[in-house]
Amino acid sequence: MNGAKTKEDLLKKLKELSIDFMENQNMASYSSIKTGGKADLILFPKNEAELGLIIKLTEGVISECFRYVVGGGTNTLFKEERICVPVISFKKFDSSFLDVSEDYQNYKKCGDKILRFGAGINLSKILNYSIRHNLSGCEFFYGIPGTLGGAVKMNAGSKESSVGNIVEAIDILDSNGSKRTVQKKDMNFSYRSLNINGIKDNYFITSVYLKLKESSKAEIAENIKIFKERKSGQPLGEYSLGCIFKNPEGSSAGKIIEEMGFKGVSFGGASVSKKHANFIINKGGAKPSDIMFLIDNIREKALESRGIKLDTEIKIV
């Protein structure tokens, strides 16, 4: 399929292919902190086939590096500036799951299960499935919002474990829309990042194969209790983006921010959480610029007063 030549041509082809899209959308609806500018066009692929068509269609309209992908929007701050390139939302994407352990015979001996999940599934649904079927390994998903595809790309997790520890393989579409299955040996997970051997960043995760272990309900419940207690110290009921900054090696970003006196500090409609200083919350009517003001001030003071460079964990678009 040839790419669309103009935006009008793109919209016409999307309608012909029955691919969902919306124009002139407020990005506040696609971010967990409920603020953001507007996007000219958002596309909603429902499966791998539709995503492949979208990739090919948009090649003629924009450079491949300017497609923007949003999953659950739980770690993305959209600034006031209008997004003039197509946004691909995984809001309606495949959230199915299937036990494929039969394809991994070597795991049957040690009580492991390999399950394939669509990249659009929420982490909470995976955790609920594992609890019902007495499967352990993803208890650290408790309290982490967002979709699996995004969680894999940023290697979401806690100090006990991260997604990279339980991923066996992923299915991806590259920047040309070609499908590949990437095995664990070709994935390099590090703190809040994933690099794939021979693949640039402009790929799309469509499904993920997780390795979970058969366990008892009591053991799973005890593991979840650990994360539940920890999350009680976070503002889970507030509009936020989760942790704003990565933890510097050997230290805690939240502790650094609190010691610098930012806990509870507000600007406009945004505020550094009184519960956990590495969270910024939308108290109501916060603008992206209010949040950026707090981020920039925290980062500047950390560098000036402590010589610490705080890198953001969130994406800023």
* pTM of the predicted structure, to 2 decimals: 0.90
CATH of the domain at 31: 3.30.43.10
State how far the Cα of 281 lies from the Cα of 237, in Å rounded to an integer: 10
pLDDT digits (tens, 9 = 90+) for 26-51: 999 999 999 999 999 999 999 999 99
**How sure is the predictor about 60, in pLDDT bands with cuts at 50, 70 and 90?**
low
State how far the Cα of 100 lies from the Cα of 115, in Å rounded to an integer: 5
Which 3 state secondary structure label does DSSP give 58? helix
Tokens of 140: 């650290």
Query: Which residue's entry shows tokens 């309608």?
Result: 15
| 32 and 74 part of one domain | yes
| 115 and 193 part of one domain | yes
| 103 and 226 part of one domain | yes
Please report whether residue 183 resides in a domain: yes
CATH of the domain at 177: 3.30.465.10
| DSSP β-bridge partners for residue 193 | 190
Q: What are phi and psi of 227, to 5 degrees?
A: -75, -30
Boundaries of domain holding 82: 7-89
Count of domains observed in the chain:
3
Asked if 78 contacts 34 with a C-beta cutoff of 8 angstroms, the reply is no
65, pLDDT greater than 50: no
| 260 and 310 part of one domain | yes
62, pLDDT greater than 60: no
CATH of the domain at 286: 3.90.78.10
